């Protein structure tokens, strides 16, 4: 082969190599470009999700503030819409973003009263209702339908008929929350959700996050979410402490439902003994520096929740005595030193909601019977006020009236009416009885002290919200007083609230009478000592049961609200709308 031929062959090989290299490089660049596009789309999908979640937060803020500023929201009937645009400088590379929100039935919670069996309802009346129907094998269930089954509430997640809860393919546990309904046919004693008489108008929030990437043909990347809301539960636990919960002896903790008919006008709750003992009670402690929950010899029919430790094996901060029991029949995974404790019934995520007594808020809307604190006084709303009408306006608000210090035997309140009072002290000694009639809101600015056979009695149809700014001292030393007798036996009719943060004297509830109600001590930094049979719930910072602790948790408390305690709206469930048939079109 001549030299010239050899040179031509080398050149041809080199050109082929360069061509192959060019093709490979072009392919690599195309793959890299596609990978970059995919990476950008994945990142921007996450951005669209964050924008949609931001929209949910905006709607939740407006619901909690009752703030639907027409300069921000567009109102049409019972629907509120809101939108926000983000410039292309927000995320760089020319990316633009936007949020769109629609709240259906945004005003239903502020127009409603609790459903009861005696009111004659007319078209367009709006009620709140916590009850749901029992599961039925022949009912065709749709997504988001709610049912009760074996004492637990479930939400349908896949449409079906005849699939028994708790089958996880079709049902998810849905903690008890309140829904709202509008009357569509006049009726009396027809409980929601009977579709002949009621339509569900529980507020729903649709939120959409939109991101547009330049060079993508202008095609938007969207995430659309749907969320349902309700009022937050103040007492989801049988006993809870944001610091430590100590049960230093024995006793039984279990659950029952005192509100079988979901009707607030029912005076007498069925006796605990007739309802059976359930397994839905939760004990919770929140300390992250030491033991959060101590159970010595208690039998707990339910669950325990406490934060994790900071070192392996990151076990929940719970201490059990060898005789303690935590199970529902069979022990699935036994505790190493307490064989009757089932480790599968211990959570590392305690939920201990504690909200402040409601201060008046100029941005909120109020409805009849709302209670607020304003300039050291409690006020009762008697007519929905226009925006920014402070409680000094007597057209809309009733101020608490002065009641001289209460001692000896006395009667306060008016049967069939709501009374709001304040006093300096309540002191009851041996033989003294304070009788409460009607619906009473009592602000005790000093101490509440009961000794010996002294007691407070709520008549059969009475209810009471008692706020104590000083010491709560029911009983003395280790000696029990008679305590508080709630004759209706409905725990939702009595709340005892301590508003003091510190006290040089012990705070306690030591009583021989069963306590049907709830105790709420969110600010007290010292121990609150309890020795009584509790039918209801208790929540505080440091809660101690030095002797036998019998707590029978009323599961209907999960949907209860109480005068003067600010229970905010929360999102009860949400999902991404990936099916085009489920999505809505925003204006």
Find the range with the poorest average confidence among 89-93, 135-139, 332-336, 458-462: 89-93
The residues that bridge with 318 in the sheet, in sequence order, are: 293
Q: How far apart are CA 557 and CA 404, in angstroms?
A: 33
| Alpha carbons 43 and 54: distance in angstroms, whole number | 17
Examine the pLDDT at 1 and tell me if it is beyond 60: no
- Phi, psi at residue 483, to the nearest 5°? 100, -145
Could you tell me the pLDDT band of residue 91, with boundaries at 50, 70 and 90? Answer: confident
For residue 450, is pLDDT > 90? yes
Q: 298: pLDDT confidence band, cut at 50, 70 and 90?
A: very high
Residue 35 has pLDDT above 80, yes or no: no
Number of C-beta neighbours around residue 24 at 10 A: 10
- Two tokens, residue 293: 């929950």
Residue spans of the domains in the chain: they are 36-106+203-232+569-587, 131-175, 371-528+561-568
Q: What is the mean pLDDT of residues 344-359?
A: 91
> For residue 531, with 0-12 CB atoms within 10 Å meaning exposed, 13-18 middle and 19 or more buried, which class applies?
buried
Q: What's phi and psi for 491, nearest 5 deg? A: -60, -25
DSSP 8-class letter at 332: S
Distance CA 132, CA 173 (A): 13
Q: How confident is the model at residue 330 (pLDDT cuts 50, 70, 90)?
A: confident
Distances from the Cα of 585 to the Cα of 52, 211, 245, angstroms: 15, 16, 50
Residue 52 phi/psi, 5° resolution? -65, -40
Range 535-559 average pLDDT: 93
CATH of 131-175, one of 1.10.10.10, 2.10.10.20, 3.40.30.10, 1.10.357.10: 2.10.10.20
Q: Facing residues of 411 across strands?
A: 435
- Angle (CA) 54-57-62 rounded to 5° is 130
Q: Is pLDDT of 335 > 90?
A: yes
Which of 52-61, 111-120, 354-363 ranks highest by mean pLDDT?
52-61
- pLDDT at position 286 is 96
| Interval 222-243: pLDDT, tens | 999 999 888 888 999 999 999 9
- Beta strands in 62-194, from DSSP E residues, in sequence order: 74-76, 79-86, 96-104, 113-114, 126-129, 140-141, 146-149, 152-156, 160-161, 171-173, 179-183
Confidence of residue 478 (pLDDT cuts 50, 70, 90): confident
The per-residue DSSP string of 346-358 comes to EES--------B-
Alpha-carbon span 233 to 567, nearest angstrom = 7
pLDDT digits (tens, 9 = 90+) for 565-579: 888 888 888 889 988
End-to-end CA distance of the chain: 79
Furthest CA-CA distance within the chain: 130
What gap in Å lies between CA 163 and CA 144, rounded to an integer?
15
pLDDT at 546: 93
Its pTM stands at 0.83
Q: Does residue 505 contact residue 478 with C-beta atoms inside 8 Å?
A: no
The predicted pLDDT at position 4 comes to 57
Give percent of the chain above pLDDT 90: 53
Q: Dump strand ranges (E) for 387-498.
A: 397-399, 401-402, 406-407, 410-412, 418-423, 426-428, 433-436, 439-444, 448-450, 455-458, 463-468, 472-474, 483-486, 494-498
pLDDT higher than 80, residue 216: no
> Do residues 473 and 506 make contact, with C-beta atoms less than 8 angstroms apart?
yes
Residue 36 has pLDDT above 60, yes or no: no
Residue 37 has φ and ψ, to the nearest 5°, of: -60, -45
Q: Any bridge partners for residue 84, and if so which? A: 99
Average pLDDT, the chain: 88
| 498 phi, psi to nearest 5 deg | -95, 125
Residue 419: the pLDDT is 95
**3-class secondary structure, 138:** coil
146 half-sphere exposure, CB direction, 13 A CA radius = 22
Q: Percent of the chain having pLDDT more than 70?
A: 93
pLDDT at 387 over 90: no
Which residue has better confidence, 479 or 6? 479
Which residues, in sequence order, are CB contacts of 342 under 8 Å at separation 6+? Answer: 326, 327, 328, 330, 331, 332, 333, 334, 335
């Amino acid at each position: 082969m001549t030299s010239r031929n050899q040179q031509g062959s080398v050149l041809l090989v080199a050109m082929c190599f360069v061509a192959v290299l060019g093709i490979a490089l072009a392919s690599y660049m195309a793959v890299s470009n596609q990978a970059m596009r995919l990476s950008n789309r994945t990142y921007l999908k996450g951005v669209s999700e964050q924008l949609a979640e931001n929209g949910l937060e905006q709607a939740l803020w407006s619901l909690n503030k009752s703030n639907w500023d027409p300069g921000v929201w567009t109102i049409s009937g019972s629907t509120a819409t809101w939108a926000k645009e983000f410039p292309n400088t927000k995320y760089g590379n020319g990316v633009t973003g936007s949020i769109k929100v629609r709240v259906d039935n945004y005003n239903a919670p502020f127009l409603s009263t609790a459903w009861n069996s005696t009111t004659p309802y007319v078209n367009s009346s709006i009620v709140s209702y916590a009850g749901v129907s029992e599961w039925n094998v022949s009912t065709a269930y749709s997504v988001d339908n709610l049912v009760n089954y074996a004492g637990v509430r479930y939400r349908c997640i896949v449409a079906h008929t005849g699939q028994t809860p708790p089958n996880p393919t079709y049902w998810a546990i849905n903690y008890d929350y309140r829904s709202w309904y509008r009357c569509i046919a006049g009726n009396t004693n027809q409980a929601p959700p009977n579709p002949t008489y009621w339509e569900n108008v529980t507020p729903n929030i649709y939120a959409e996050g939109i991101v547009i990437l330049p060079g993508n043909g202008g095609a938007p990347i969207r995430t659309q979410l749907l969320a349902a809301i309700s009022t937050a539960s103040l007492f989801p636990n049988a006993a809870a402490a944001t610091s430590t919960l100590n049960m230093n002896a024995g006793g039984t903790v279990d659950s029952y439902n005192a509100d079988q008919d979901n009707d607030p006008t029912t005076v007498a709750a069925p006796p605990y003994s007739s309802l059976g003992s359930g397994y839905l009670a939760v004990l919770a402690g929140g300390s992250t520096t030491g033991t959060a929950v101590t159970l010595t010899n208690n039998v707990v029919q339910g669950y325990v929740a406490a934060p994790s430790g900071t070192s392996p094996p990151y076990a929940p901060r719970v201490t059990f005595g060898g005789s303690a029991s935590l199970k529902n029949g069979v022990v699935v995974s036994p505790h190493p030193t307490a064989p009757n404790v089932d480790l599968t019934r211990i959570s590392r995520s305690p939920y201990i909601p504690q909200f402040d007594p409601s201060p008046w808020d100029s941005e909120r809307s109020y409805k009849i019977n709302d209670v607020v604190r304003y300039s050291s006084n409690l006020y009762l709303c008697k007519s929905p006020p226009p925006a920014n009408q402070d409680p000094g306006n007597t057209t809309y608000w009733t101020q608490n009236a002065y009641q001289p210090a209460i001692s000896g035997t006395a009667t306060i309140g008016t049967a069939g009416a709501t009374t709001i009072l304040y006093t300096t002290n309540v002191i009851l000694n041996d033989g003294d009885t304070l009788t409460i009639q009607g619906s009473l809101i009592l602000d005790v600015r000093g101490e509440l002290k009961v000794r010996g056979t002294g007691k407070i009695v709520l008549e059969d149809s009475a209810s009471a919200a008692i706020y104590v700014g000083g010491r709560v001292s029911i009983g003395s030393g280790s000696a029990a007083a008679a305590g508080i007798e709630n004759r209706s036996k409905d725990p939702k009719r009595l709340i005892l609230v301590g508003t003091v943060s510190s006290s040089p004297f012990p705070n306690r509830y030591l009583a021989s009478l069963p306590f049907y109600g709830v105790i709420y001590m969110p600010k007290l930094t010292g121990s609150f000592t309890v020795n009584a049979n509790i039918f209801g719930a208790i929540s505080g910072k440091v809660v101690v049961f030095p002797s036998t602790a019998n707590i029978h948790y009323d599961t209907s408390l999960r949907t209860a609200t109480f005068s003067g305690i600010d229970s905010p709206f929360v999102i009860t469930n949400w999902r991404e709308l990936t099916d085009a048939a489920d999505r809505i079109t925003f204006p």
